[in-house]
Amino acid sequence: MATVELTFSALPAHVRTARLVATAIARRTGVEESLLDEVRLAVGEACSRAVEAHRLHCPGEPIRIELRDDLGRFEVTVTDSAPSDELEQDRALLQLDDPFVQLPDALMSGFGIAVIVGLADDVQVYPSQKGMRIRMSWPASTNGLTPV
């Protein structure tokens, strides 16, 4: 399993860099060429959401991206440090005690999560008062490719 970590400040210009890095690593990991646009768009949406959250709540904190090649999957995790108080209130109202339970799309639509769900093969969202983590993955094959 190979892992690449990237951190960047909450500036919209850095979203493009994150998309380019994710696409390059996805290609090298063996994600099908037809899925690369989906990777680029999903990573861009997750990073844009994180940039906006940071600009509102914690502009000095970096956004973190982890890109992994794990068991035939290309996985991207975007983590921000902005508090997700609204989501925690919704979770409490719905009596969701497990932090790993996915919230209904209706609660997440304002954050672009619905777009990400439509683009990635598998999506998991972990909101908390300390930030949000969005994990996305796509099938990958390392046939003839050098691991990252």
Contact 140, 30 (CB under 8 A): yes
Tokens found for residue 85: 């108080």
Q: With 80 as the cut, is the pLDDT of residue 55 above it?
A: yes
Tokens read off for 1: 């399993």
What pTM does this model have? 0.78
**pLDDT digits 0-9 by tens, 75-88:** 999 999 988 655 54
Query: How many residues are there in the chain?
Result: 148
Contact 73, 101 (CB under 8 A): no
Element (H, E) at 39: helix 36-57
